[in-house]
Amino acid sequence: MSSIYNGNIKISIFGESHGTAIGAVLDGIPAGEKIDFEQVYLQMQRRAPGKSEITTERRESDRPKVVSGVINGYTTGTPICGVIENENIELKNYENLKDVVRPGHADYTAHVKYRGFNDINGGGHFSGRLTAALTFCGAICRQILEQKGITIGAHVYSIFDVFDDHFDMEISKKLLKRLSQEIFPVINPEAKEKMAKKILQTKSEGDSVGGVIECALDNVPPGLGAPIFDGIESKISALVFAIPAIKAIEFGAGFAVAKMFGSQSNDSFALREGEIFTRTNNHGGILGGISSGMPIVFRCAVKPTPSIAKPQDTVSIKSNHPVRISVSGRHDPCIVPRAVPVVEAVSAIAMLDFFKEANLL
Amino acid sequence: MSSIYNGNIKISIFGESHGTAIGAVLDGIPAGEKIDFEQVYLQMQRRAPGKSEITTERRESDRPKVVSGVINGYTTGTPICGVIENENIELKNYENLKDVVRPGHADYTAHVKYRGFNDINGGGHFSGRLTAALTFCGAICRQILEQKGITIGAHVYSIFDVFDDHFDMEISKKLLKRLSQEIFPVINPEAKEKMAKKILQTKSEGDSVGGVIECALDNVPPGLGAPIFDGIESKISALVFAIPAIKAIEFGAGFAVAKMFGSQSNDSFALREGEIFTRTNNHGGILGGISSGMPIVFRCAVKPTPSIAKPQDTVSIKSNHPVRISVSGRHDPCIVPRAVPVVEAVSAIAMLDFFKEANLL
Amino acid sequence: MSSIYNGNIKISIFGESHGTAIGAVLDGIPAGEKIDFEQVYLQMQRRAPGKSEITTERRESDRPKVVSGVINGYTTGTPICGVIENENIELKNYENLKDVVRPGHADYTAHVKYRGFNDINGGGHFSGRLTAALTFCGAICRQILEQKGITIGAHVYSIFDVFDDHFDMEISKKLLKRLSQEIFPVINPEAKEKMAKKILQTKSEGDSVGGVIECALDNVPPGLGAPIFDGIESKISALVFAIPAIKAIEFGAGFAVAKMFGSQSNDSFALREGEIFTRTNNHGGILGGISSGMPIVFRCAVKPTPSIAKPQDTVSIKSNHPVRISVSGRHDPCIVPRAVPVVEAVSAIAMLDFFKEANLL
Amino acid sequence: MSSIYNGNIKISIFGESHGTAIGAVLDGIPAGEKIDFEQVYLQMQRRAPGKSEITTERRESDRPKVVSGVINGYTTGTPICGVIENENIELKNYENLKDVVRPGHADYTAHVKYRGFNDINGGGHFSGRLTAALTFCGAICRQILEQKGITIGAHVYSIFDVFDDHFDMEISKKLLKRLSQEIFPVINPEAKEKMAKKILQTKSEGDSVGGVIECALDNVPPGLGAPIFDGIESKISALVFAIPAIKAIEFGAGFAVAKMFGSQSNDSFALREGEIFTRTNNHGGILGGISSGMPIVFRCAVKPTPSIAKPQDTVSIKSNHPVRISVSGRHDPCIVPRAVPVVEAVSAIAMLDFFKEANLL
């Protein structure tokens, strides 16, 4: 039912792709946190389209208007509402799609759920554009975490069959910092070149392509999270799947544990200067739903942009007849790079939630 | 913080592995639902240890005492509390582990979170035994869904390098029914034999082994779920990660979407007798967080049982010194088969939650 | 922590009295509800200041901008966000109050909670102005309830020692309709005249005065609500106390039950045309937290506006010295009439929540 | 829907009056809290029937079995489940009431809500007996608050027309301590005698009688609570109305504020040894939903026990005919004294919730 996240911090997201505005209310942020809204804007720019030839040409300034909860750059402790006005809207592109459900989109499922009353222009409330609101919230949460020593960074791990390096066991803060500022972040610059080439080639064919994002949260103190329903995997995965196009997630060794023996997958505990750590990180920094102090590492799969120029078979829900469509308009051939800051953002939201639960805010 | 699931239906789970009892309160089930508690018990027996030579020899009757919410086999509409008394407990096995954190277990993370006050015997509240409470709740939810035509079934898709068949595009209700009654459910009986062999071999080496479970929910009506925070992937994944040992989940084509073009991953809509369906099911029955009417299909990875006889390096948290341990006691060499009914159970909980949200109860 | 109401419907409220804007996100309203926003505006005008000489002269157009969730007058099923821009703001009146906590206001308690970071201008997030957001949400909920035959109306039951009539046992729908449209609603017009006189006299003395509001919800079907934590009294009272200045609430006979015998307070059940009703309504339409089908009736006490011209003793939190203040500015000598539509609004929110829980939406 | 309290701490209540057992799961209590379960039992004994001739003769040992969450007297941090077995049950008394709805009880409303499937014996889940579970939880919360210097106590303020003294502005900790240990707590011992006489007289007439309970929470630090939806009045009132038979609540001066001028109701701030306090406490320790540091004081009205021997008119829901009943069985002529520890208990739950929200646990 709900576009409300009701954790220890709370978020309410509103808006439609081609409506007046979208936005978010972020509730539960403590008073007195200094927030640099230029940094927030930077994160939103990383997600925004039109940043390079490999992304859609729709331009959004995406500069959020902070209408409450902040005075003189400090949080007041009451709800922070950010409103992002919709600009540069072309409704005409969707006119012909009014009764044709686009494959891979939520057009059909939303039509059924809302009995035809939903806003279909640009995907309405289901548009990837709504992730701008997530990014806004996450960018605020991230700054508070940074004050506490936590660094969050993600990279494009793969596009189709082109792979970046994996994170090392020990992730440098500097690397995460760099990744978290870039438009198309990869560990190995060569990978990026090949990925971009793959994307442009796909674009030229009127097609789109998917990929994998790998994210790390460094310096998370041990003891955060909870057993059963409120474990770290549960919260992060629930929030990551709030991002349209994500179809899979794995923590630590992930699916690879299925091909391991216990003697391989168990991470031995050891001591370094009196501190407990593990020699390997198959557990991805999480044991029993609770942080171990090792980096939290996860990967998630992003499906190819469903809007493609190539002709596709589908159905008219008005006439109940098969039709064939080509989705024109401004679409990314690959949304993986733009999804990176969103994955970082929801990770920051999840982590701040755990900090609040643990009385660390 | 919380062992409470606070969805449209609500669950409160309590208990420790070696305490007096474990159990669950299931709140929000409508009045007047006929529940066959022998079927509930059957599901709990599927999960219980001691069912075959490939599982632990600890015997649990696991017969839950239903202390509230049911009269004459019908739900009253008020909370259903099931209490499962702990029997056949041997505390001595854990005596020597009091200050030694077992690799792959939550001993260390729980110790930090609860500052040493947690019950460590048998893993306490973190024990896999707590999944009996999940199974109890799920078995009730499942029966209500069955009355509405929904069938849920899962199978052991892989153990190490031994694979069962995948679900077909069209999943027979009969197959799901069969799987949901078996102790070691597979689609292809030959796979089971090879898997069992692999498990026994691993056991003989004092080791354990992981695997993948594939689950399907058939005949789910389109239009269930919600955008942003309450999508089907979010709810199912959050609940699946409530099961200890799960490290990854993927829906539909899952991670494979990362190696697809949009023209491949998009599932074309088509018509059959006036009904809309998709010709492929890469979306796993979920678009925009909402059910499409196609079977909901997901896979999750189960890590090898962390308790192994093989010696492992770890640390004493009392003396802060490295130690070497061999975890003796009654342990499964592979918990994948026993996790199958739990995966089905949490799927049923998630689905009933969506039914309630959609006013279908 | 939270300005989020997380019931079966959900509300997120944001904004500060003298900030950019205030507003609300209303989440969980079904798709396809026709909303007349002129009626919403009418309700907001009933609450707005400047409507008569007995209310503050600050003028607010209070016309909300609906930025999401509604197309062509119908709800889309996704979150409805209403933004109310703050106009006609005079910050200077609060300059001298920056370190002086006003008696009867939240200045001191908010200062402690937010460690001095809260927005103090006009009371910030604690301002009565935030009730405009509640009224917006309630006015939408009310229209949906009206479609289902529910009528909600309230009146000024008393101002100081001047009393209006009580609701009769059988409340006419026509009366409730009339009350719910008026600026200063009373049952007996003579009472209004005397009340207005009392208020103006109080104003002339630089003082303010309190009163009681009585509210009724008519034609509520029996069987709504729940035992223990989610009863009707619990939900309505929690929402009524969200209105600043409310200090007491009573349902049905209320405090009078304390001076009754069981044989008096018990409402006999009887039959009329095959329908069960009660001959009296001491229970205020609620038994065991659940609606009985009789009108739900409650009264709540509104304290005198704390902002008064009369000099008062207080404290400077900067210098930690006693000071004497006179609160100048535009203030109501009595906020009881303006609180009436807000009490109706939160009643509508609570009732729609129960409708949703009972699958009646 | 729900017998789950989902605040910063969480409670799940289950059971029916004449079922196998009732109980509660208390979730979110930090690890390492020392709980004296004899004190918990003492509080439950205060609530239990059969303690004097003025209460029902049904005897309940009410000794809860703590099945989880506590080891060696210390909380483990995981859910605390207390099970109270139902003893001394006489189902026969309810045989003849199977189709006759008792005036003042939830028989009719529950019958409608649960479509006849609810457990009617002894009121089922609606029985006052369920308050034993609330008392269990509250008694644990109270001990943790006491460690932090908070004292909670309540007294029978009135029975019919017999009144005890009010709390003074400054409430002695010693007085609250005394009240919180007694079976029939009053400030002025003479009042008790007169009250008891009134109750016994009422009993002899086959009738019952109501009263008012006044409760105070002393030494609550300023700054707890929140604006809008999570204020102290909202949370306390919602929890107090979870107690069957409560029909009204008022904080501080309560309904009396309606007959005050602002110059009277405003509590002046003043300084004492550098600490801010108010000279009067009309605000009942709460401003803007947030604690001021003054004692939190509220009163609530308890209706007369609905079960009375005197004949009453009602209806058979089977035959849909009017009938006349006399409710026999073991019933209190006045439940006000027994409700006192329950009011204290829910106050403790509410306050601990605010402590948790404010990171004070």
Confidence of residue B122 (pLDDT cuts 50, 70, 90): confident
pLDDT in tens, B221-252: 999 999 999 999 999 999 999 999 999 999 99
Residues near A24 by Cβ (< 8 Å), separated by ≥ 6? A11, A12, A13, A14, A81, A82, A133, A134, A136, A137
Contact check, Cβ <8 Å, D78/B27:
no
pLDDT in tens, A117-135: 999 988 999 999 999 999 9
CA D332, distance to chain mean position in Å, is 16
Average pLDDT of span D157-173: 94
Chains B and C form CB pairs within 8 A to the count of: 5
Q: Which residue in A78, A227, A359 is closest to D78 by CB distance? A: A227
Average pLDDT of span D6-18: 96
Contact check, Cβ <8 Å, D322/C258:
no
CA distance D317 to C154: 33
pLDDT in tens, B123-156: 999 999 999 999 999 999 999 999 999 999 999 9
Residue B35 vs residues A315, B41, B66, B136, C39: alpha-carbon distances, Å: 41, 11, 11, 12, 48
C118 min Cα distance to partner chain D (Å): 12
Amino acid C54: pLDDT: 65
Q: Are B250 and B304 in contact (CB under 8 A)?
A: no
Q: What is the pTM of this model?
A: 0.97
pLDDT in tens, D252-274: 999 999 999 999 999 999 999 99
Q: D80 - beta bridge partners?
A: D26
Residues near A91 by Cβ (< 8 Å), separated by ≥ 6? A18, A121
Helices C37-47 and C131-147 pack at an angle, to 10 degrees, of: 140
Phi, psi of C147 (to 5 degrees): -60, -25
Q: Which helix (H) or strand (E) holds C145?
A: helix C131-147
pLDDT in tens, C104-121: 999 999 999 999 999 998
Closest CA to A293 of D28, B169, B315: B315
CA distance D184 to D105: 25
Q: Has residue C1 got a pLDDT over 60? A: no
Radius of gyration of chain A, Cα coordinates, nearest whole angstrom:
21
SS3 string, chain B, reads CCCEEECCCEEEEEECCCCCEEEEEEECCCCCCECCHHHHHHHHHHHCCCCCCCCCCCCCCCCCEEEECEECCEECCCCEEEEEECCCCCCHHHHCCCCECCCCCCHHHHHHHCCCCCCCHHHHHHCHHHHHHHHHHHHHHHHHHHHCCCEEEEEEEEECCEECCCCCCCCCHHHHHHHCCCCCCCCCHHHHHHHHHHHHHHHHCCCCECEEEEEEEECCCCCCECCHHHCHHHHHHHHHCCCCCEEEEEECCHHHHHHCEHHHHCCCEEEECCEEEECCCCCCCEECCEECCCCEEEEEEECCCCCCCCCEEEEECCCCEEEEECCCCCCCCCCHHHHHHHHHHHHHHHHHHHHHHCCCC
Average pLDDT of span D92-102: 74
Confidence of residue D131 (pLDDT cuts 50, 70, 90): very high
Q: Is A27 helix (H, G, I), strand (E, B) or coil?
A: strand
CA distance A291 to A278: 12
Amino acid A99: pLDDT: 86
Q: Are A3 and B288 in contact (CB under 8 A)?
A: no
Contact check, Cβ <8 Å, A228/B3:
yes
CA distance C319 to C322: 9
Question: What subunits touch chain B, counting only 3 or more CB pairs under 8 A?
Answer: A, C, D
Proportion of chain B above pLDDT 70, given as a percent: 94
Residue A140 vs residues A80, A152, D242: alpha-carbon distances, Å: 10, 13, 38
Q: Has residue B57 got a pLDDT over 60? A: no
Amino acid A250: pLDDT: 98
B72 min Cα distance to partner chain A (Å): 31
Of A4-18, A129-143, D53-67, least confident by mean pLDDT is D53-67
Interface confidence: ipTM more than 0.90: yes
Q: Which residue in A68, A115, A117 is closest to C19 by CB distance? A: A68
Q: Is D22 within 8 Å of chain B by CB? A: yes
CA distance B317 to B287: 47
- Name residue D118's amino acid: N
Amino acid B328: pLDDT: 78
Q: Is A227 within 8 Å of chain D by CB? A: yes
* Bridge pairing between strands A275-278 and A269-272: antiparallel
Q: Has residue B91 got a pLDDT over 70? A: no
Of A323-337, B94-108, D163-177, least confident by mean pLDDT is B94-108
Q: Which residues of chain C are within 8 Å of residue B9 when distances are taken between CB atoms?
A: none
Q: Has residue D197 got a pLDDT over 70? A: yes
Residue of C nearest to D285 (CA): C109
Amino acid A97: pLDDT: 64
B121 min Cα distance to partner chain D (Å): 11
Amino acid A59: pLDDT: 58
D229 min Cα distance to partner chain A (Å): 12
| Arithmetic mean of pLDDT over chain B | 94
Q: Which residues of chain C are within 8 Å of residue A67 when distances are taken between CB atoms?
A: 14-15, 19-21, 23, 83
Chains C and D form CB pairs within 8 A to the count of: 378
Q: Which residue in B126, B257, B314 is closest to A303 by CB distance? A: B257
Q: Are D33 and D74 in contact (CB under 8 A)?
A: yes
Amino acid C106: pLDDT: 96
Confidence of residue D88 (pLDDT cuts 50, 70, 90): low
Confidence of residue A170 (pLDDT cuts 50, 70, 90): confident
pLDDT in tens, C230-253: 999 999 999 999 999 999 999 999
Question: What subunits touch chain D, counting only 3 or more CB pairs under 8 A?
Answer: A, B, C
- Name residue C81's amino acid: C
Kindly state the DSSP code that residue C322 receives in the 8-state scheme: E
Residue of C nearest to A29 (CA): C1
Kindly state the DSSP code that residue D235 receives in the 8-state scheme: H
Cα angle: A131, vertex A137, A141; to 5 degrees: 135
Closest CA to D254 of C257, C210, C283, C235: C210
pLDDT in tens, B257-313: 999 999 999 999 999 999 999 999 999 999 999 999 999 999 999 999 999 999 999
Average pLDDT of span D297-302: 98
Residues near C272 by Cβ (< 8 Å), separated by ≥ 6? none
Of A276-290, B36-50, C320-334, least confident by mean pLDDT is C320-334
Amino acid B54: pLDDT: 65
Confidence of residue C328 (pLDDT cuts 50, 70, 90): confident
pLDDT in tens, B322-361: 999 998 776 899 999 999 999 999 999 999 999 999 999 8
How many other C-beta atoms lie within 10 A of the C-beta of residue C148? Answer: 14
Amino acid C91: pLDDT: 61
Q: Has residue D326 got a pLDDT over 60? A: yes
Q: Is C65 within 8 Å of chain A by CB? A: yes
Contact check, Cβ <8 Å, C361/B361:
no
Q: B202 - beta bridge partners?
A: none
Q: Has residue D1 got a pLDDT over 90? A: no
Q: Which residues of chain D are within 8 Å of residue C222 when distances are taken between CB atoms?
A: 108-109, 112-113
Amino acid B187: pLDDT: 97
Q: Cα dihedral sign for D136, D140, D141, D146? A: positive
b/e per residue C50-82 (b: at least 16 CB within 10 A): bbeebbbebebebbbebbbbbbeeebbbbbbbb
How is chain A split among helix, strand and coil, in percent rounded to 5? 30, 25, 45
Proportion of chain D above pLDDT 90, given as a percent: 87
pLDDT in tens, D206-234: 999 999 999 999 999 999 999 999 999 99
A284 min Cα distance to partner chain C (Å): 32
Amino acid C168: pLDDT: 84
Proportion of chain C above pLDDT 90, given as a percent: 86
Q: Which residues of chain D are within 8 Å of residue B78 when distances are taken between CB atoms?
A: 3, 14, 16, 114, 118-119, 124-125
